[in-house]
A and B are shown apart, each in its own frame.
Chain A
Amino acid sequence: MSEALHRRLEEIWCTPKGLRALTGVNHTTVGLRFIVTGFVFFLVGGVLAMLIRSQLAFPGNDLLGHRAYNAAFTLHGTAMMFFFAVPIMEGFAVYLIPKLIGARDLVFPRLSAFGYWCYLFGGLLLFSSVLVGDPPDSGWFMYTPLSSKPWSPGLGSDFWLLGVTFAEISAVAAAIELTVSILKTRAPGMTLARMPLFAWYILVTSLLIVFGFPPLILASILLEVERAFGLPFFAPHAGGDPLLWQHLFWLFGHPEVYIIFLPAAGLVSTLLPAFAQRPIAGYAWVVLAVIATGFLSYALWVHHMFATGIPLLSLSFFSAASMAVAIPSGIQVFAWIATLWAGRPLMKVPLLFVLGFLFIFVLGGLTGVMVALVPFDWQAHDSHFVVAHLHYVLFGGMVFPLFAGLYYWMPLVTGRQPSETGGRVAFWLIFIGFNLTFLPMHWTGLLGMPRRVYTYPEGLGWELLNLVSTVGGFLTAAGVAAFLIDIALQRRYGPRSAGNAWNAGTLEWSMRSPVPSYNFASQPAVDDRDPLWREPELAAKAQAGAFYLGHPEPQRREMMVTSALHAEPQQVAILPGNTWTPLVAALLTGLFFLGFLVKAYWLAALGAALAVAALAAWAWQGSSRGGPLEIDAGLGARLPFHYATAAPPGYWGGLVTLIADATLYASLLFAYFFLWTVSPAWPPQGYRDAGLALPALGLAVLVASSVVVRLGRGSTPATLFAMALAAAFVALEGAALLPALEARSHAYDALVFSIWGYAVLHVAVAILMAGFVIARRRSGYHERVGEARVAELFWHYAVAAWAAGFLVVHVFPFLVPR
């Protein structure tokens, strides 16, 4: 391709230097930021781990007191799970997915930037607790009542709840945009059957996040509201239940394990073929395994609660599902072994880490089947055996593939080849160190040493095992240091790599080296799972602009949008360029969280209002009024711009967002029914006081607003009328419900109040969105049909949500006998 075209594309797509780098939205920039920040948190979590191991090295050691030890293991777990494992894998997905599927960027670039800032600020918020001397210390799972106000009166739990929730915005944001990107922006011809396996893994992971994170977000909100305002969701004396927290936490917490593991396994499935120099064995079987794992992971949450007194048969269902999940894991392991077996393995550093992963992960899987057995779990529960098991699964299952991936894809970033020697030193230090740390821990646990105790007396037979674990821990740390040195050396002195550094078959290796900001000078057409093996000249053709959107005078960030199943060209999306909006919106969201933390609720309210204003400004940004409605995309395809179509990517994004929102709502309704079933204090006195007449009228008015929106077809008078009806609903329902509630006195009232609050909030947002659409049209943005559809969809969703809420809050109490 001509250097002029390259420079032009680079001008349009690149992230600026200096302070303006903060405006960058390009997925390459944002993905790397996620990966680097995640690695920094890995180092922070690692330092905390070394503190833990140092404290446990000798019996009766007094390096850390029990408070400091509690804070250390809490922050270690929190940092590793929420601020390292999930975000760094998100970073890999953000960085790699567009390159693997032949796209120029993710489909909502500002959303990924916003997610990154939320993640960074959430992490800073959490760890600032150390600076003010009040870190969280109730464990990474924040069990109530330990984390509740009476037992954790300080700010520690608040730091955790607010920091983690802030960071979770980024996970949900990434999940939404990765789902839509994978379904809608694959290179033309890349049908579902030809999609790189990493995209399958990330698609399933994203859906796991969409369904898995909302229960935790809800639980965190409920606990924070309980701590701040005294609404008793988890307090047994007022009709709450600590087990509600455990159910909601693990409803998230077990899928979380797969949210971490699946992307890592995806890295393995994607890079392994390059080292076997043959396609993956059993592609369809691996896809099956990934889908099955995604579903099975939702039926495992109670295996974290085997010791809580749940009936035996219920436990057995979860025990059976926990063992069944070994089947899809086994399918993947056999597919990897078969791929290596049938190929000619090249023993390079990334493959070494993959083999280490296989060895360690299989061991972790086997102890996993052991603790899936209820009687064995009762013996091993809360002992160091479980610590050993979970590190074999997570360190083996995620950290080893991470290092393999870092070595494998580093040439894309640095344009240089990694050294074999440095990588091998790092691998053996980490591999030996890891096993030395955690293999003895199985015995320590079986000998009875419990988790989360800050010290232990002599003479129990735990001394030598603990010392060996500590030595192993420091050896692992030395391995990580060796890795960092190796990468620094590679960046500076490594030999320049050819474009396709490993002779791989996937599209990310068809770009210039190091990769340019726009990825593909023209977006390739694909007709195979390993396009570069099938058509070696594809790279040169793509770089010469011979495929889609390779026209010589690009003006804006253009990208192909294709159909979900067959990847046929449908639209050309105009992506937004660099902008301050995501950073500003995240900072204002931070103001909300900060206000909550320091209990300055006026500040929180101000932050929330300003953040909403920033989001409105964000939605307003973007392409110009008027202008052309279609474009010649090359190869004979004349396509509409995304904003001129009825189903632009934003519509899909809206759908996925509503699924996450509905999951949060379903969790809230679950809390209601759960407490009704288990709490002896339910229902409280006067629970039928609200009556049915006024609420039924309110519902009728609200449903009428939906009908008006539907029949009004977006006309301004109809929308204004619908808004008036919705406002009338809020007044009617409030008048019926609020006098009958004492939200601080009983969990029933608190939950009914929350369900009402959810409905009011959604109706308010629906009104804002409808107002936005009117304002937009009055400013001359006539062609934006998709936007109006999203607003209408949200309106109907809000109404449907309250219809369900009405049945639960108002009708259900009259159906069950007193």
Chain B
Amino acid sequence: MSLALPPAVWMAHFLAVYVLVSLACPAGLEGLVRPGVAIATLAALAFFAAFGFAAWRGAGAPGETRAFIAYTNALVCALSAVGTLWVAAPAFMLAPCAS
């Protein structure tokens, strides 16, 4: 189900940054956190842009069901991108390993 793919990428990004902080901080690798979060975020955003754009173009395609799924997919991509940015933002506002 292609509709589940963008939020799954959002979730993979979420888990990646969460696990990164959980592992890097106890290991004393604080410097890895921000670059790691930045790379994961850019990768996720690139996916949403590519997948969302393809879906948006497909929304005009013939066939009611396909058009519906393409349109919804484009919306899901946009929301997932917002969610990803939102989750990544604190990494650049807080000291990475503060407790």
- Interface residues, chain A, with chain B CB atoms under 8 Å away: 191-194, 284-285, 287-288, 291-292, 294-296, 298-299, 309, 311-314, 316-317, 319-321, 323-324, 327-328, 565-566, 677
Contact = CB atoms under 8 A, between A and B. Distances in A.
A215 B83 CA distance: 25
Nearest to A203: B1
Contact of A319 (B67, B82, B90): B90
Nearest to B4: A291
Given A193-B68, A299-B11, A317 B90 contact: yes
A327 B23 CA distance: 30
B65 A311 contact: no
B14 A321 contact: yes
A313 B72 contact: no
Contacts of B99: 309, 311-312
Contacts of A321: 14, 83, 86-87
B83 A311 contact: no
Given A192-B65, A311-B99, A312-B94, A677 B23 contact: yes
Given A291-B4, A292-B7, A311-B25, A316 B94 contact: yes
Given A311-B97, A313-B91, A321-B87, A291 B3 contact: yes
Interface of A is mostly: helix
Interface in B40-99: 64-65, 67-69, 71-72, 75-76, 79-80, 82-83, 86-87, 89-91, 93-99
B29 interface: no
Q: How large is the interface on B (under 10, 10 to 19, 20 to 34, 35 or more residues)?
A: 35 or more
Contacts of B35: none
B94 to A, nearest CB: 5
A527 to B, nearest CB: 10
A522 to B, nearest CB: 24
Contacts of A291: 3-4, 7, 72, 76
B67 to A, nearest CB: 8
B26 interface: yes
Interface of B is mostly: helix
Contact of A324 (B3, B11, B71, B82): B82
B79 A317 contact: no
B8 interface: yes
A317 B87 contact: yes
A327 B90 CA distance: 18
B90 A313 contact: yes
Contact of B94 (A298, A299, A313, A565): A313
B46 to A, nearest CB: 19
Q: Could you say which of A291, A316, A328, A677 has the most chain B C-beta atoms within 10 Å of its C-beta?
A: A291
A620 to B, nearest CB: 34
Contact of A320 (B7, B90, B98): B90
A191 B18 contact: no
Nearest to A193: B68
Q: Could you say which of B8, B33, B87, B91 has the most chain A C-beta atoms within 10 Å of its C-beta?
A: B87
Nearest to B67: A193
Contacts of B79: 288, 292, 327-328
Contact of B14 (A284, A292, A317, A566): A317
Q: Could you say which of A296, A319, A565 has the most chain B C-beta atoms within 10 Å of its C-beta?
A: A296
A323 B83 CA distance: 9
A311 B76 contact: no
Contacts of A311: 21-22, 25, 97-99
Q: Could you say which of A298, A311, A313, A314 has the most chain B C-beta atoms within 10 Å of its C-beta?
A: A313
Contact of B98 (A288, A298, A312, A327): A312
Contacts of A677: 22-23, 26
Q: Could you say which of B17, B23, B79, B99 has the most chain A C-beta atoms within 10 Å of its C-beta?
A: B79
Contacts of A565: 65
Contact of A299 (B4, B14, B23, B82): B14
A285 B76 CA distance: 9
B86 A324 contact: yes
B3 A314 contact: no
A37 to B, nearest CB: 33
B69 A193 contact: yes
A320 B86 contact: yes
B23 A298 contact: no
A295 B3 contact: no
Nearest to B17: A317
B50 to A, nearest CB: 19
A182 to B, nearest CB: 12
A88 to B, nearest CB: 27
29 contacts: A193-B64, A193-B69, A194-B64, A284-B72, A285-B75, A288-B72, A288-B76, A291-B3, A291-B72, A292-B83, A294-B7, A295-B11, A296-B7, A296-B83, A299-B14, A299-B87, A313-B98, A314-B21, A316-B91, A317-B18, A320-B87, A320-B89, A321-B83, A321-B86, A323-B86, A324-B86, A328-B79, A677-B22, A677-B26
A298 B90 contact: no
B90 A566 contact: no
Contact of B33 (A284, A294, A313): A313
B16 to A, nearest CB: 10
Nearest to B90: A316
A313 B89 contact: no
A327 B95 CA distance: 27
A355 to B, nearest CB: 27
Given A193-B64, A284-B75, A320-B89, 18 more contacts: A191-B65, A193-B65, A193-B69, A284-B68, A288-B76, A291-B72, A295-B8, A299-B11, A309-B99, A311-B21, A312-B99, A314-B18, A316-B94, A321-B14, A321-B86, A323-B86, A324-B82, A677-B22
A312 B8 CA distance: 25
Contacts of B98: 311-313
Contact of B71 (A284, A313, A314, A323): A284
A652 B91 CA distance: 42
A499 B18 CA distance: 54
Nearest to B10: A295
Contact of B7 (A194, A295, A313, A319): A295
Contacts of A327: 79, 82-83
B94 A287 contact: no
Contacts of A295: 4, 7-8, 10-11
Contacts of A292: 7, 76, 79-80, 83
A171 B79 CA distance: 30
Contacts of B94: 312-313, 316
A323 B90 CA distance: 13
B47 to A, nearest CB: 15
Nearest to A287: B72
Contacts of A566: 65
Q: Could you say which of B33, B80, B93 has the most chain A C-beta atoms within 10 Å of its C-beta?
A: B80
Contacts of B26: 677
A735 to B, nearest CB: 35
Contacts of A288: 72, 75-76, 79
Contacts of A192: 65, 68-69
Contacts of A285: 75
Contacts of A323: 86
B8 to A, nearest CB: 7
Nearest to A318: B18
A191 B26 CA distance: 51
Contacts of A296: 7, 83
Contacts of B4: 291, 295
